[in-house]
Amino acid sequence: MSTSSESPQGIRPTSVTEWLVANIDGAVPPFDFNFITGGHSNLTFEVVAADSRRFVLRRPPLGEVLATAHDMGREHRIISGFGQTSVPVPTALGLCEDTTVNDAPFYVMSYVDGVVLHDADIADESFADHQLRGAVSHSTIEVLADLHTVDPDEIGLGDLGRKEAYLDRQLKRWHSQWESSKTRELPTMDEAFALLSEAKPPQRYTGVVHGDYRLGNLLCDPADGSVSAVLDWELCTLGDVLADVGYVLNSWVQPGEQHVRGATDYPTERGGFTTREELVDAYAERTGFEVSGINYYRAFQNWRLAAIVEGVLARYLKGVMVDESVDTELYRLQVESLASESLRLLESE
């Protein structure tokens, strides 16, 4: 059975080809495997079949990973669950948990056309029309509101995690990750952690929390601005849905606003997108949720993202990520800036 002559690191072409033919309906070999850039954790590959049909394959990063991270079966299950709802996701096509096939579990999903708004330049290239940017804004928050009002029990995800004490669990988890992954001491991370622990609000609304909901994890249609698919569910769990709102607000940087050092330019900086206040109002109207005190969630998400980015930095320094061209100093700056912004938001409350 033939395969493409060259395949990227992280793919064993012969055994993966055999698995695809045996398990994915209509998968016609030979296949070309192409690494899709943009992610910093699980690795994503485009698979192009001989008949030009495309699939997407996801697998964990190379090398050793934290024990509870990068669960391919869990990600596959989440996408399968939301495939029953109005929340747009790729179609889950198959899961391989046999590590002899590709050295790690992986799953395959449908390829969805669309543009990922990774940075401001892509906004200028694909969404130059400000009406389209407004449409992207409305679709982004409407999809998040719909995601949060899905009953996880009704789509088979009721046991995805504990529903209660979300902030307690998250603070404990990411503090532990920070301690195990940190590449240096950073007092602002410790100070923010102490304040976040003291100021926890009660959990008012419980549902599925995406965990990384932002324009960079959405496929948007350049024709009408609608969200075509929500991607990257690896941090998804059950709990306080307002955490996702805080997260998307942090990434929704306004024109002229100073943003996190070391981060790329945000699409929303270029203008034409709705304001943070308009996003919050639209979310509250669609869900009926009370969203006061949202700055706590913004502070929490800055601190949490700092812990995540530090983990990415640690993996790059260990050489277990595919892309070796990154500037690790920018990651250090980003972690420091996120921790400082978390403190600023907490102290402003």
Phi, psi of 146 (to 5 degrees): -65, -40
pLDDT digits (tens, 9 = 90+) for 120-154: 999 999 999 999 999 999 999 999 999 999 999 99
Is residue 21 pLDDT above 50, yes or no? yes
Is residue 39 pLDDT above 90, yes or no? no
Pick from 227, 192, 148, 195: which is nearest to 305 by CA?
192
- Span of 24-38, 61-75, 294-308 with lowest mean pLDDT: 61-75
- Span of 42-56, 161-175, 235-249, 319-333 with lowest mean pLDDT: 319-333
- At residue 260, the pLDDT reads 72
Pick from 234, 306, 217, 181: which is nearest to 60 by CA?
234
Average pLDDT along the chain: 92
* Domain ranges for the chain: 13-110, 120-348
- At residue 61, the pLDDT reads 86
Superfamily of chain region 120-348 = Aminoglycoside phosphotransferase (APH), C-terminal lobe (3.90.1200.10)
Residues in the chain: 349
% of the chain with per-residue pLDDT over 70: 93
- At residue 247, the pLDDT reads 96
- At residue 262, the pLDDT reads 64
Class of domain 13-110: alpha beta
For the chain, list the strands marked E by DSSP.
32-35, 43-48, 54-59, 92-96, 106-110, 206-209, 218-220, 227-230, 237-240
Q: Is 136 exposed, middle or buried (0-12, 13-18, 19+ CB in 10 A)?
A: buried
Task: Write down the pTM of the prediction.
Answer: 0.89
